[in-house]
Amino acid sequence: MNKQSSRRKFISTAVILTAGSTAIAKTLTMKTKDNKLAHQVYFWLNKAEDKDKLIEGINTLKKIKAVRQLHVGVVAATEKREVIDTSWGVSLLVFFDGIEGEASYQTDPIHLDFVKNYSALWNKVVVYDSTIV
């Protein structure tokens, strides 16, 4: 291989590698940054009668700028099966544009106020953060 063809080969290889890395980077970015995020939270209440109060508190979170969709739930009357957890009291499902949205929600004053004003109502909380693929 002469110098020129060697150089041509180096350039074409570099182009292929760059294209490949860009594709990989794009895939990784899609999976960790830009994809929609579902923030799923389950609350176990100290007193069952505080359900409406907690729902009222959760509804204040709708005003947070990063929130795209927010759904509040209670245990559904679906057929009981061993795999279904029905021990919780209130569920919260929030969609964000990506992990930055969730991060900004966590530190939003409305969210901090919610935790301050309502956290005495629950004794356990479990969170599942899903990146939608």
Cα dist from 55 to 58, 60, 95, whole Å: 5, 9, 17
Size of the site for a second copy (CB under 8 A): 39
Q: How far is the C-alpha of 40 from the C-alpha of 20, rounded, in Å?
A: 35
Count of positions (residues) in the chain: 133
Q: Which two tokens stand for residue 86?
A: 């029905």
Is 39 in a helix, a strand, or coil? strand
Nearest distance from residue 63's CB to a second copy, in Å? 18
- Window 19-38: contact mask with a second copy (x via CB under 8 A): ------------xx---xxx
Phi, psi of 116 (to 5 degrees): -65, -45
Binding piece for a second copy, criterion CB under 8 A, among 5-13, 14-22, 77-85, 112-120: 77-85
Of 7 and 31, CB closest to a second copy: 31
- Does residue 84 touch a second copy according to CB under 8 A? yes
Using DSSP's 3-state secondary structure scheme, residue 109 falls into: helix
User: x/- contact string, 114-133, with a second copy (CB under 8 A)?
Assistant: -----------xxxxxxxxx
Residues that bind a second copy (CB under 8 A): 31-32, 36-40, 42, 55, 71-79, 81, 83-86, 88, 91, 93, 99, 102-103, 106, 125-133
